[in-house]
Amino acid sequence: PPFIFTVPDYHALFLGLIYLLFLSPIFKIKDVELSVTSQVNHDQALALIKQNAVGKNIFFWDKSGIEKEIQDKYSLVADLLIYKGLPNTIKVVIQETTPKIEWVTNSKIYLIDDQGQVIKEGVDDKLIKIVDTKNLPINPGDRILPVFFINFLGDFTSQAQNFGLKIKNFSVSE
């Protein structure tokens, strides 16, 4: 008789499952949903994520690359949350930090968030301004102010405005 190759049913089922999970297009990322507030450009961030994720298997897609790229490109990103929705959708939520202080040193202006961390160089005239009279160098990512001090300045400025006073800036020497 001719040679007949037979595969037991459970082997065929196992091979089918392997194909379905790893090789078939069912679990390849097709859709990306992005939730972001106003500081990060939605279309640019969505394009970056799609470039990194679309067409890759949802089970094996390494999100660390896009997390780093988004955080490097947008300094106002505080956290990046990624959810995998089966069979082929990922949802990305970008949580942003909000500038609270303008810090002036060495003829440069930096934005400081509510945690006292230097976000980036930039100007926002609506923020509390602090002038460093020692002109100490700072860099994005440095934590230069304690949270209680930022809260104090905010409360103090609000109270001053309630009395009709406008504070131009604060200065620190240390």
| Range 56-83 average pLDDT | 88
Residue 57 has pLDDT above 70, yes or no: yes
Query: 9 burial class (0-12, 13-18, 19+ CB within 10 angstroms)?
Result: exposed
Q: Is the pLDDT of residue 174 over 80?
A: no
Per-residue pLDDT band at 173 (split at 50, 70, 90): confident
- Whether the per-residue pLDDT at 34 is higher than 70: the answer is yes
Residue appearing with tokens 């082997």: 11
Please give the mean pLDDT across all residues of the chain: 89
Record the pTM.
0.68
152 close to 98: Cβ distance less than 8 angstroms: no
Q: What is the pLDDT of residue 11?
A: 74
pLDDT of 52 reads 93
